[in-house]
Structure 1
C-alpha cells in the first residue's frame, strides 16, 4: 500500500492506494464506522461490478450497512438526486459524526460529498473511487457539487472527505472508453508543471491503458501526490495555485454543455479536447511553441482521446461555445480566467483573455 497525505491542519486526511484494497475495506474503513455502520451511496453500474466486494468485506468485520443505488451517468448530479439521497440518509438516521461512503466515480463522489456537506449542517464522508478519473482527480481535494441548468458543477461546496481508499483493481471492470477518459486527467498533471511526467505518459500510456498494474499504480500515486500538494497550498483557489488544476476545463465544460452533459462526450474526453484547445490557443497567441501544442494533440489522439472540436463531435460556432463559458463559476467582474501555457509543464492563469479572440479561435478551429 502507498499513502499520500493531504495536509489541511485539523482537516487533513490520508489517501491509501493498493490493488485489492476493496477486499480489505472492512479493516481499512473500520476506524470511520463511528457507530459500527455505514450508509453507502453508489450507482447501478458500480453496484453490479464492485458493491459485493465492499459489502462482503464490511460483513467480515461486523460493520452494518445500508445502500442506495442511483442511476449511472452525469444526469444523476441533479437536484432530484440530491433530494433523494438526503431524504434516504435522514430516514436512516445518519448523524453528524457518521461517515457516508461514496462508492463510484466522479458523479457519485461529487453528489455524496455535497449531500454530506449540507446534511445536518455537515456530516462525514469517505471516498472509495472506482474510475480512473475519480481516483486521480475528483475524489481528492474536497470539491463537491451538482449540475444546474446553466452549467456543470455550479451548485456545491468545498468539503473534504475523512479518508480516500483507492483500489486500482476496480479499473479492470471498466469499459476501455472510461479508462481513456480518466487518463486525460493523468496527462493534465504533466502538462501543468511536470514535463518529465508528461514524457512518462507518452512512453507508458499504452501499458497503462492495456491494464498494466504497475503503470496504473504509478500514474495514480503520482497524480494524487501532485493534486494533494496543490490542495494543501490553496484549498479554495484563493491564491490561484489550485486554479491550475482546471487546465482544459473551461473549454471542456463548454463542449460538455454543447453536447448536453451526456454520453456523447464524457467529462475526461471533454477535458482532453479542452487541453488541446488551450495549448493551440496559447500557440495562436504566441505564448507557447507550436511544436508543444502539436505534441499534446498528437499524444491525445494517439491514445484515442479527442484533440479537436471535430474529434469531440462539436460543430457549434465560437460564439455559441463562448456563451456557455459565460456561465463558468470562475467568472470575475465579467472576465473569465483561462489556463494557458508557455510550453509543456508551464501552465499559467491568464486573467486578461479577450473572449472575442477565443470565439474567433474556435471558429478557426472548426
Structure 2
C-alpha cells in the first residue's frame, strides 16, 4: 500500500512557537508508532519565527533537539521573496497536519493558505478556526446559540488609549457592570498570553493597557467562583465527546506558566461531577463545536458553579496542545483512544472532510 505523505507543519509566528515544537514532537512520535508506520510517511516543515518555511532537513533537526531556530539562515532572513518560497517537498504532501498554536496558526490564516493549496488538512477550516480564536466573535456566536456565559464587555485599543479623559469613565463602566475580580484578555491570543486577573482600579488600568498592546480588541470578563472543567471533541458532522476532566491549580488563574510547566496544575480525569452535570457539559460541547463550525478536533472549557448548579461555557480551542501536560490527548487516552490511534483518526477525519475523487483514490 502506498503511504500517505503527512506534512507535519510546526513552529510559526506566534508567542506559542516553543509550545508548537513540543506538540509536534509528540505528534511525530505518535505518527511513527507501530500502528501508523505502514500508513504514513512524515514530511516535517518548520516555520521560523520570522515566517520563513524550512524543509525536512532543518525541520527534523528541530524535532530532534526540541529547540527553536533562534538564528535563521542569513540567506533568507527578512527577505520578502523567501516568505513565499515553500520547500520543494511541500508539493509531495497528501495531508497537512498543522501543529500551530495561537495567531498565524489556529486563527484561520494558515487554514486559508492550506485551502488554497487544495490539499486536505487536520482540524477546522477558516471559519471555525477564526471564530474559535477570536474571543469576541466566539462569545457572540455562543450568545446567539443560547449557550450561557459569564458577563463580559468588549473594548477597542482606541477606546483604551485615545483619550485620557474618557478612560476613567470606561473603567467606571467596567466596575459597575462586572465588579471585581474580573479578567482582562486580548481578543486574539492563545494560552493565556496577555491575560490578567484584576481586583482594583489600578490593576484594571494596567491590565487594559497591557492587553491593548497585544491586540486592537480587548475583552473583560466577570470573575466567577467555579470549578474549571474541560472535555475533548473528535469528529466532523457527527462528533464524539470524551470523558470530562478537571483542572486545579495553586496559581491565581490558569496562566501560561501553569499550563505548560509540569506539576503546576493537577488534571483529574474523570472529573467528579453529578451525571446530570456531565451530560449537560457534553451536550453543550457538541453545540459549541457546531456553533463555530469546528471540525476534526476541539477542546471545550467550562465553569461549573457548584453553589448554583450552573454550567457556563468559557471557550473553545480548535487546536489544543499536545504536550505532556495537555488535557486533550489525556482525555481521549482515558476515553479509550491512545495517542497513536488519536492522530490516525485526525488524519482520517481530514480526508473525510476534504473528500474529492482524488482523495478517494488515495484512501482506496
> What TM-score, normalized by structure 1, do the two folds share?
0.28
Larger Rg: 2
Higher strand share: 2
Length-normalised TM-score, structure 2: 0.28
Of the two structures, which has the highest relative contact order with CA contacts closer than 8 Å and spacing of 6 or more?
2
